[in-house]
Amino acid sequence: MEKAREKWVGKVNELVIGAEPQEGGTRKKIIKIGGENTLPFLYFEGKIPNPPVVAMEVWDTEPVAWPEVLKEEFKGCLKDPVAWAKKAVEEWNIDLLCLRLFSTHPDVQNTSPEEAGKIVEKVLHAVGVPLIIIGGYSAQKDGDVLFRVSEVVKGENCLLGIAVQENYKTITASCLSGGHSLIAETPIDINLAKQLNILISDMGFPAERIVIHHSTGGLGYGLEYTYSVMERTRLAGLSGDKMLSQPMINFVGQEVWRAKEAKTSEEEMPVWGRQRERAILWEATTAVAFLNAGANILVMNHPQAIKLVKETIKELMVDLVSK
């Protein structure tokens, strides 16, 4: 009896992050994501040429709201993004970094676009891995900051963001000028995601260089809603919808580490067990759930959680069906 197989007419766009010297950049390696023409890890129905990847966040200022159990992993470098980036690459073998320019937010330090550009340049020269660079989550300021950043990293084929309804024109123009890809974010709604992708494409930006971010929910805080919308997005893309055929990214760490289950110590809630192990598993579990929803990039915080997820990806990328 022949196995029932779904035959998809579409596929996820393949995207490259980073540029090596022969391509005009300075990166020692590049990252490829997307390209699959089947649902996550269903090898019997199609091909998955590139595994999902994990990026570690590096902040340009100390993340004061982080719990101590997370901060202690980064002792000596929380106030130095260059040292932080080097530690991530050299000690934890991180292949992709996400530099968060949080200090640029007007309510934080209001760092100028020029100063942000200098920070990015220092990190770029310190490590050889590809970069994701995002602003401080102020729509207006992020547009100005990423305009400058795009010039600084021109030729490096970075992934910049985050473009939202309020600033997508500025960020799209910056990415066009600098030759970068961009992250497009909408609330958890497939129709809004498609609409923003169309608006960005109407500016002449290639749809193949867009990465979708459906606002991420952590375990216990809306994960199932994000999961279902991501799953619908992937089904639409595989069914041939070009405006929903983009790779997807999830900012897992920023959601998990503000949840009470990750922030509460064992002294405050002994019944929950040891905080470190609990919090690491909370982040890893959230990340693995989104892998199965179709995530191509997971942005995470704790090195041990990242290790667990990378091991899981390695196991999931083994095609047991054909063996």
Q: Per-residue DSSP letters for 96-146? A: -EEEE-GGGSTTTT---HHHHHHHHHHHHHH--S-EEEE--S-HHHHHHHH
Any bridge partners for residue 53, and if so which?
297
The tokens for 309 are: 């997820």
Q: Which residues of 117-137 are buried (b: 16+ CB within 10 A; e: fewer)?
A: bebbeebbeebebbbbbbbbb
DSSP state of 31: E
Question: pTM for the full model?
Answer: 0.96
Angstrom distance (rounded) from CA 72 to CA 289: 26
Query: How confident is the model at residue 82, as a pLDDT?
Result: 98
Question: What is the domain partition of the chain in residue ranges?
Answer: 15-316
Query: How confident is the model at residue 1, as a pLDDT?
Result: 56
Angstrom distance (rounded) from CA 180 to CA 153: 9
Angstrom distance (rounded) from CA 160 to CA 167: 13
Query: How confident is the model at residue 321, as a pLDDT?
Result: 56
The dotted CATH code for 15-316 is 3.20.20.20
User: Could you give the 3-state DSSP secondary structure of residue 245?
Assistant: coil
Tens of pLDDT along the chain (323 residues) come to 566 788 899 999 999 999 999 999 999 999 999 999 999 999 989 999 999 999 999 999 999 999 999 999 999 999 999 999 999 999 999 999 999 999 999 999 999 999 999 999 999 999 999 999 999 999 999 999 999 999 999 999 999 999 999 999 999 999 999 999 999 999 999 999 999 999 999 999 999 999 999 999 999 889 999 999 999 999 999 999 999 999 999 999 999 999 999 999 999 999 999 999 999 999 999 999 999 999 999 999 999 999 999 999 999 998 755 55
Query: How confident is the model at residue 66, as a pLDDT?
Result: 96
- Determine the Cα angle at 31 with ends 29 and 36, to 5°: 150
Cβ distance 38 to 289 under 8 Å? no
Q: Exposed/middle/buried for 51, CB within 10 Å: 0-12, 13-18, 19+?
A: middle
Query: How confident is the model at residue 320, as a pLDDT?
Result: 57
Query: How confident is the model at residue 323, as a pLDDT?
Result: 53
Angstrom distance (rounded) from CA 197 to CA 237: 13
Cβ distance 27 to 130 under 8 Å? yes
Query: How confident is the model at residue 2, as a pLDDT?
Result: 66
Query: How confident is the model at residue 4, as a pLDDT?
Result: 74
Query: How confident is the model at residue 276, as a pLDDT?
Result: 95
